[in-house]
Amino acid sequence: MNIALIAHDKKKDDMIRFTTAYTHIFKEHSLFATGTTGLRIMEATGLEVHRFQSGPLGGDQEIGAFIANNKMDMVFFFRDPLTAQPHEPDVTALIRLCDVYEVPLATNMGTGEVLVRGLERGDVSWRNIVRGITEN
Catalytically annotated residues = 60
Burial class (CB in 10 A: 0-12, 13-18, 19+), 28: exposed
Give me the residues paired with residue 2 across strands: 30
Q: What DSSP state is assigned to residue 133?
A: -
Beta carbons of 58 and 80 less than 8 angstroms apart: no
Region of 52 (left: φ > 0; alpha: ψ -120 to 50; beta: rest) is beta
Q: Give the CA distances from residue 65 to residues 16, 72, 84, 120, 125, in Å, rounded to whole numbers and listed in that order.
A: 25, 9, 24, 26, 21
Half-sphere exposure for 114 (CA within 13 Å, toward CB): 7
